[in-house]
Structure 1
Amino acid sequence: MNNPTPHDRVVADQGGTPDTTLPIVVYALHLAGIITGGLTSLIAVVMAYVYRGKGPAWLDEHYRYQIRTFWIALLYFAVSGLLTLVVIGFLTWLAAVVWLVIRCVKGLKALNERRAPDDVDTWLF
């Protein structure tokens, strides 16, 4: 049997579910990173690192998902940047953008349903 953490007790004492505003902001910053060249994604990953471990397990899984999304996206976009030298990088960059959007939408959907995202450890969606 799991013992509730102090934060779980505070949430229970407040009589509600944990605030999901911050994870929503992190997902939005990841999406804005498409336009800002990744600057807002960098802010998002710092926020996810700071706030992980401070909520219920399903919410912590969102932060873990967001952190993994940042590092995998960094790899995908770096490879795409290198591949632009042989023209195919533009297609892989587009695929990386689609991948990022799908991952963020899936995360937001799971967050809205107050559950952990599916397949947190996957490299795909």
Structure 2
Amino acid sequence: MNDEIIENEPTNTNSAKMVYILYLVGLFFGITGIIGVVMAYINKDGAPEWLKTHYQFQIRTFWIGALYLVLGSILSLIIVGWFVLLFWVVWLIIRSVKGMKALDANRAVEDPERWMF
């Protein structure tokens, strides 16, 4: 039974890594971000506790990022919106890279409910 857990864990880890990659690719092709959040929702229930923090972090990254994207798009009618959109791009890259680093080290995300990096 322990062998089954060990065999399944790399698949779960690869799935979480794929979500981070889909978010980064989503900067160029927006639909991949939606695919990533769907994957995170699907995989979070069967994951070990430390991996659930990654899925929670990814889900929050999607929804908070969507908020920044909508606000930036609306505010782009005035100059400040472009700065919000630039912040969103940098924010998404930093969150995804930090998440992948923690995932590669088999560590949970510290405070997955935070809004910033």
* TM-score of the two chains, using structure 2 as the length reference: 0.92
**In the alignment, is residue 65 of structure 1 matched against residue 64 of structure 2?**
no
Distance 2:55 2:47 in 1: 10
Q: CA deviation at 1:15?
A: 7.0
Root mean square deviation of aligned Cα? 1.3
Larger Rg: 1
Letter paired with 2:50: W
**Deviations, residues 39-85 of structure 1 (Å, cap 9, x unaligned):** 11000000110111112100111111100000000000100001100
The number of aligned residues is: 114
Give the ranges of 4+ consecutive aligned residues of structure 1 lying more than 4 Å apart after TM superposition: none
Q: Unaligned stretches of 5+ in structure 2?
A: none
Aligned to 1:26: 19
Percent identity, aligned pairs only, is 44
Change (3 A) 1:69 1:15: closer
Pairing partner for 2:84 from 88, 92, 103: 92
Unpaired runs of 5+ in structure 1?
1-9
1:49 to 2:41 alignment: yes
